[in-house]
Chains A and B, each alone.
Chain A
Amino acid sequence: MLLREVEYARPGTVEEAISLLAGHEGARALAGGQTLVNVMKARAASPDVLVDLADLEELRGIGFSSEGLLELGAMVTYAQLTASSEVEVARPILGEVSATIGDVQVRNRGTIGGNVCVADPTNHLPPLFAALGATFTIRGADGERTVPAEDFFVGVYVTAVEEGELLTKVSVPPSSGAGDGFAGLTIGVHGTYIANAAASVSDEGARVVLGCVAATPVRATAMEERLAGSDFSQESVRAAAVGLGTELDPPSDVHGSADFRRHVAEVSAVRAVLQASASGKGS
């Protein structure tokens, strides 16, 4: 409910931010704060130093790389993502899903960087970015590196971003005719996900990624294989999803047993793929 004593710094450049993060043990980056501030209020974690990224304009941009990748600065908010015409043109599913995260107030502050770096298994963007084949650029004192989703998400609340490093941007391939989908079951409208799935269907086949069912997003590779050459009819997609749940070991909690999550994961995968296939054809 109330934070412990903390020190606060607001650097003006990414280099300054990295130097602060590296130079103070127990320092954490403060992005939108929609998770971190609550965590600190509950005293579940109490960093000694908060490095506020608010003034880092470099991290707020939405644009295209020379190779045509959609580049999203880590401090881009959900609201900006939803309102961006670049995103709408290049990869509209991002805006569509972001528009359902929380509510207006949360979307005005919450950032894509925060969403992926928190790496809560129920967050929206990790499975979605994974399905889109996004890559994550991390900068530290030693320089910059870019990692794919499967290497970025390491565990519950753990990513490839080490101490003293910052996620600077997420790069997403443009759709190029691919269709994307996202489906699942939430606790109330626009609430937290109980189980979800993200899918992308293109000429190269399908990518299906499940959220909420493991520490990190799970590629439903068996289903992807069964979808090879599919006509993406309802029957064939359902058939491809059969047994998807049996591979999983999801948590049991107040909102559903492990069995329920297995089942909803399967249903969500089917719906996401059907959505993806329909949107690809439609565009």
Chain B
Amino acid sequence: MTVVEETTTLKKGFVGQSIPRKEDKRLVQGLGTFFDDVRRHGMGYVHFVRSPYAHAKIVSIDVSKALELDGVYGTITGDEVAIQTDPFFEMSVEPGGNIKDYALAVGRVRHMGEPVAAVCAATRELARDAADLIEVEYDPLAVLVDAEDSLRDEVVLHDDAGSNVVWSGVFDWGDVDTALAEADHVVKIERLHFHRFSSTPLECAGALVEYDKGTGEWTLHCNHQMPGVGAIWMAPALRVGIDKLRFVTQDIGGGFGNKICLHPQYVVLCLMARKLGRPVQWTEWRTDQHTANAHGNERTFLDVEVGVMADGTMTGFKVRALDDCGAFPRYEPLGCIIWAQVTPGMYGWRNIRVDFTQVCTNKSPVSPNRGYSRMQHLWLTERIVDIVAAELGFDPVELRKKNYVKVEQMPYETPNGCVYDSGDYAAALDIALDLVDYGSIDERRKDAEARGKLLGFGIGSTLDSGTNNFGQSTLLNPELQFSGNNEAASVKLDIFGEVVVTLGTVPQGQGHETTAAQVVADIIGCSPEQVNVRRGHDTWFNSHAGFSGTYASQFAFTGLGAVKGAAELLRAEMVQLAAAVLQAPEEAIELADGMARVKDGPEEAALPFMALGAIVNANNAFLPPDFNPTLNHRYVCRPYFGMVDTEKKTGQLTLTYATQIHAAVVEVDPETGEVEIVDYAAVDDCGVRINPQIVEGQVHGATAHAIGAALSEHFVYDEEGTLLTSNFYDYHVPHAMDMPPLKTGAMESPSPVAPLGAKGMGEGGGGGIHCLCAAIQDALSSAGKPLVTTSCNPPHRVWAMLQDPEATRRVEVMSK
């Protein structure tokens, strides 16, 4: 059920329609090509030998028995990697910038599951058998699984860095000390903790890598979702030019950010392909994905202080944030600053200080995960609002509306120079409230009570910031030579009039083939069926730019912006060519229904696209010498940001902000702590929706991810650094019967800065986590007012809150 409030009337053709997807035809027949479906003659299968210890010295590795096994093609160990490659480039400044990160563990392992050696054999089973024969001797070291412990540097993970601190910095805008001093109330919250989980895409990571000895080039048939960055990491490590790495992606079974840091294993595959002289293939096991691929940021918020006026205006807050990036930072230092895209959350406070530190621990490396770093920060702001409301007796709905950035203020510049492009948060909230029949909450609460249940209502407001300015990385490290953003696309009209589009992006289910076709069809005047969008990303398409990939909620802006740009160039040429051939002025030419024709002209004054394509490609002698149409255009969409001020830590860090407001009604069973979601609504505003069905589908998916994270998904470690939730039994994700009845609503506040008025979307900002934490806290408010201070609340946690509410109430209110 969808309620749409249109706030604009933009001319829409295919854009704006929920046309069924082009991708589906092959996928519903099981004819998709995922990387594990690709075969090569003579290929070998790779299995990684991984560390059973969270922290240990590698004393020795003996591969001899493995090599004796019939059918084994070869092995590789960290020593070889250290000789043949250079460590991966590190983003952070010192001390984190000194970390040496190789494709395999060199001398030391720092998390359970860290790859130590790899073996390649004729079959999957033989590779697995051979791995058992590789003998590794370890000397265990003390294990760090807690970020606060790690900060003390008693056990240091990376000697080259000399400290477990990867990065630290203070962000200070406005004047929070004065704001707190002048506030009528100061609410102090001792500790909030955002937990580790990930999106666990159903298809695991992997690649089939071929090496061409003649050219020194590798081809990776893989599912890396950001090949631009993958190549930047891998090429220098392999000591080759970037053009020696060809990334080919076809169908990908979900990414959600978890397929961005695949470069270590891919480098191993490149080395093996070269060493063994045959194609090598690796498919990650589910256990390995959970244990050693990519967790989302785990962040602890300490000593939060919030200034609140008597009328409910929240004037500012300060916090110490401690981020746990696991054993290797990799992409993660960006997480230290990316949250700043949404510094104030949805709210108008102007005085904010964040003292941010990121440390290493002996856990799985962290990497972008749906909502990446903003989600953690937005959870903080939403927890603040609900705890302030609970402690000071404000209504959470009214407190939000009072403090939300108002629609009249859009575009709104935040305290750190980001610009919220558009949105009407209060209106979106009203839609959500309506969908869950907010007016009946009190009645439903009484009804639940009669059945022995505690009913709670909660809101989660969140932003999906999209189209990053990579200049934000200079806030992390002023020496980094990154800024801006880009994405490329090519559109051509072929010799038989076929329209062919190639993208730089790497879709993993977002329907890029379809939405790109919609945009092109509208611009050049044909139907989406006539637009052939090549599947996936291929370096050899030459349709990519440095930041190409699918991540950070930006396709609708940069990806489709590039498609639009290329299609417009093509259109202009088609019109020019048709005018020349039909001997009419350009203004009189229209493109529609696959034809170029003279408006209101005779029937013969028309050329099918095929004719245009044929003329340019095969029959072009009659064209005048100074007119050289190619009907083949590549366009790079370069969003404009301006520079980032690394001293004040301000600047436009991202361009678009999609809104999501989630509302949940839950019933808690006080005897078991079970939380049942009995009503749920998610309202999304991502500006112009190119394909509303595709947008809504991702809202559903993001909601499911958030519900899973809020109620059960948790990567939990014991003191030895063992991951206790490494399979889908213990790491429970929502199945069909776990999902609540889900209502969605939509608004369209077009983005004034995006090429199509469409904002990136898809990550969802963790809205479900925020609203379920709020709903649970509300449900338990009649049972001792425990505060929800962690982001994952499975039954045992809820029960603990009921048993000892005081233990959670590490909050202090100081009022004038």
Contact = CB atoms under 8 A, between A and B. Distances in A.
Q: Determine whether A and B are in direct contact in the complex, meaning some CB atoms lie less than 8 angstroms apart.
A: yes
Contact of B737 (A3, A187, A189, A192): A189
B738 interface: yes
A267 B672 contact: yes
Contacts of B285: 1
Interface string A248-260: 0000011111001
**Residue among A190, A194, A255 facing the most chain B CB atoms (10 A cut-off):** A255
B737 A263 contact: no
A191 B796 contact: no
B799 A263 contact: yes
B128 interface: yes
A4 interface: yes
Contacts of A260: 796, 799-800
Contacts of B725: 254
A189 B738 contact: yes
B698 interface: no
A105 to B, nearest CB: 12
A251 to B, nearest CB: 12
Nearest to A253: B724
B735 A254 contact: no
B497 interface: no
Contact of A187 (B132, B672, B730): B730
A44 interface: no
Interface string B143-185: 0000000000000000000000000000000000000000000
Interface string B784-801: 000000000011100110
A178 interface: no
Interface in B698-751: 712, 714, 716, 724-725, 729-730, 732, 734-735, 737-738
Nearest to A261: B796
Nearest to A189: B737
Contacts of A267: 671-672
Nearest to A42: B287
B679 interface: no
A256 B674 CA distance: 12
Nearest to B672: A185
Contacts of B738: 188-189
B191 interface: no
B735 A189 contact: yes
B401 interface: no
Contact of A185 (B674, B729, B732): B674
Given A185-B795, A255-B794, A256-B795, A192 B729 contact: yes
B278 interface: no
B125 A190 contact: no
A188 B672 contact: no
Contacts of A191: 729, 732
Interface in B499-543: none
A21 interface: no
Given A185-B674, A188-B712, A260-B796, A255 B730 contact: yes
Interface string A263-280: 110010000000000000
A43 B738 CA distance: 31
Contact of A188 (B714, B735, B799, B800): B735
A110 B15 CA distance: 49
A267 B285 CA distance: 38
B729 A256 contact: no
Contacts of A3: 125
A260 B671 CA distance: 10
B41 to A, nearest CB: 22
Interface string B644-677: 0000000000000000000000000001101000
Interface residues of A, number: 24
Contact of A254 (B124, B128, B716): B716
Nearest to B128: A2
Nearest to A185: B672
B257 to A, nearest CB: 24
B498 interface: no
Nearest to A183: B672
B797 to A, nearest CB: 9
Nearest to B717: A254
Interface in A187-233: 187-192, 194
Given A255-B796, A260-B796, A187 B129 contact: no
Contacts of A1: 128, 285, 287
**Residue among B128, B132, B674, B714 facing the most chain A CB atoms (10 A cut-off):** B128
Contacts of B799: 260, 263
B126 to A, nearest CB: 9
Nearest to B287: A1
Contacts of A263: 799
A253 B725 CA distance: 10
Contacts of B795: 185, 194, 256
Contacts of B714: 254
Interface string B272-286: 000000000000010
A181 B674 CA distance: 20
Contacts of A189: 735, 737-738
Contacts of B730: 187, 254-255
A2 B125 contact: yes
A143 B81 CA distance: 61
A264 B732 contact: no
Contacts of A4: 129
Contacts of B716: 254
Contacts of A185: 672, 674, 795
Nearest to A1: B285
B707 to A, nearest CB: 11
Contacts of B672: 185, 264, 267
Contacts of B732: 187-188, 191
Contacts of A256: 795-796
Nearest to A184: B672
Interface string B99-131: 000000000000000000000000011001100
A257 B128 contact: no
A189 B733 CA distance: 11
Nearest to A188: B732
A233 to B, nearest CB: 15
A187 B796 CA distance: 11
Contacts of B735: 103, 188-190
**Residue among A43, A188, A257 facing the most chain B CB atoms (10 A cut-off):** A188
Contacts of B794: 255
B175 to A, nearest CB: 44
Contacts of B128: 1-2
A257 B716 CA distance: 14
A31 B543 CA distance: 54
Nearest to A264: B672
Nearest to B795: A185
A186 to B, nearest CB: 9
Interface in A3-29: 3-5
Contacts of B796: 194, 255-257, 260
A3 B737 CA distance: 32
A116 B53 CA distance: 34
A189 B730 CA distance: 13
Contacts of A5: 129
Interface string A67-111: 000000000000000000000000000000000000100000000
A260 B724 CA distance: 18
Please provide the 3 A-B residue pairs with the shortest distance between their CB atoms, ordered closest to farther: A256-B796, A189-B737, A188-B732
Interface of A: 1-5, 43, 103, 185, 187-192, 194, 253-257, 260, 263-264, 267
8 contacts: A4-B129, A187-B712, A187-B730, A188-B732, A189-B738, A256-B796, A257-B796, A260-B799
Given A188-B732, A255-B794, 15 more contacts: A1-B128, A1-B287, A3-B125, A187-B712, A187-B729, A188-B734, A188-B738, A190-B735, A191-B732, A194-B795, A254-B714, A254-B716, A256-B795, A256-B796, A260-B799
